A and B are shown apart, each in its own frame.
Chain A
Amino acid sequence: MRTPPNSTRDEFISVASHELKTPVTSMKIYAELLKRSLPKSSDAMLYLNKLNSQIDRLTELVQELLDISRIETNKLVLYKDLVNLPFVISNVARDLEVTFKKHRVRFNFGDTLELKIKVDQLRLTQVLINLITNAVKYSPKSSMVDIHLKSDDSFVYVGVQDFGIGISRVYQKKIFEPFYRVSGENEKTYPGLGVGLYISQQIIKKHGGDMWVESKKDRGSTFWFSLPWKEAL
């Protein structure tokens, strides 16, 4: 059973991350002002772009802290709307694809062009971004990510498959634990809090579904999540 949340700590995380958002906004604006006054091909512009991406990373970390705080205090609230799932998935993937150096996304939706379900679209997008960027991050030698969509009588299933380093069986449950970072020998780690999958799984569980991974070491991984049909109209 989960330890009862420490309310002082959770309150602190919530207030601190809230307070961090305002300076981050100002930093972004000043970086944008600077961008306007620099020649496009200068070294300074290169450094500025790096600065900008670090600000984005900071924004992401703040957001993750806030989400953790919401989950731990049971304050993660969903705002559901009826959405067309294949449309949402392909939009998110296409938007991300332009930021990838070589990876391309293939859709394995079968004949499913329309599948309406009631979900929190912003939260679902957050989950998809997490899974798709992980798939790219952990498959540096590959150039493909496949997204699967299928359903049965009770659930809709979405799978994000990469052809990368895979995950040993021993880690397959641990990766969904908050702040867990793979630290074994020969395991490449990436910067971050190690909470992305935990947050994604909690978002899906809050929808009444679940998230899990099917993977073999060096053969790639497929992260699946399910969403219940009962939410569909």
Chain B
Amino acid sequence: MRKKILFIDDDPEILESVKIFLEKEGFEVETDECGDTIKELSKREVKPDLILMDVLISGNDGRKLTKKIKRDKCLKHIPVIMLSAHPGVTKTSKTWGNEGFIAKPFDIYRLIRKINQLTRKKKYMFQ
């Protein structure tokens, strides 16, 4: 079964390019430009296997959204990879509960390796 990725970023271009690439790699990708998906995510029956989250989202804050995910008992098991082009975020990025961080501009294959590593780990944990 295809792994489901939710990608939250306020830049439509990066959402589109990453979505195309990941879908060619066999993932199912849902995109969100403002982070509103998080509000109704816990009610969904089928949840994403992993969330890609930009740190600074227009009108929202990826760090707060990640903390919210990690506080929610229905969502906290979902690994979150945070992405940012913002200087200096790299080291502080470990404090929001996210499982991974990748700085922009990133190598797409590095992102895929990280996604595979975290989604495999999750599968293993629940088997």
Contacts and interface: CB of A to CB of B under 8 A. Distances in A.
Interface of A: 14, 18-19, 21-26, 28-30, 32-33, 36, 59, 66, 70, 75, 77, 79
Contact of A29 (B11, B21, B87): B21
B87 A25 contact: no
A22 B85 contact: yes
B86 interface: yes
Most buried by A among B11, B17, B86, B90: B17
A100 B13 CA distance: 34
Nearest to A58: B105
Contacts of B91: 79
A29 B17 contact: yes
Contacts of A21: 85, 104-105
A29 B15 CA distance: 11
Interface string B68-109: 000000000000000001111011000000000000111110
A28 B108 contact: yes
A14 B86 CA distance: 9
Contact of B13 (A26, A33, A79): A26
A30 B16 CA distance: 10
B14 interface: yes
A75 B86 CA distance: 13
Describe B's contact surface by its main secondary structure: helix
A110 to B, nearest CB: 34
Describe A's contact surface by its main secondary structure: helix
Interface residues of B, number: 20
Given A24-B105, A29-B108, A33-B24, A18 B87 contact: yes
B11 A22 contact: yes
Given A25-B106, A79-B90, 17 more contacts: A18-B85, A19-B85, A22-B85, A24-B105, A25-B17, A25-B104, A26-B13, A26-B17, A28-B105, A29-B21, A29-B108, A30-B17, A32-B108, A66-B87, A75-B88, A77-B88, A79-B91
A14 B88 CA distance: 11
Given A22-B11, A30-B17, A14 B105 contact: no
A65 to B, nearest CB: 11
Nearest to B85: A21
Given A21-B104, A22-B104, A33 B20 contact: yes
Ranked 10 nearest A-B pairs via Cβ: A21-B85, A25-B105, A29-B17, A26-B17, A24-B105, A21-B104, A26-B13, A79-B91, A21-B105, A25-B104
Interface in B7-23: 11, 13-14, 16-18, 20-21
A21 B11 CA distance: 12
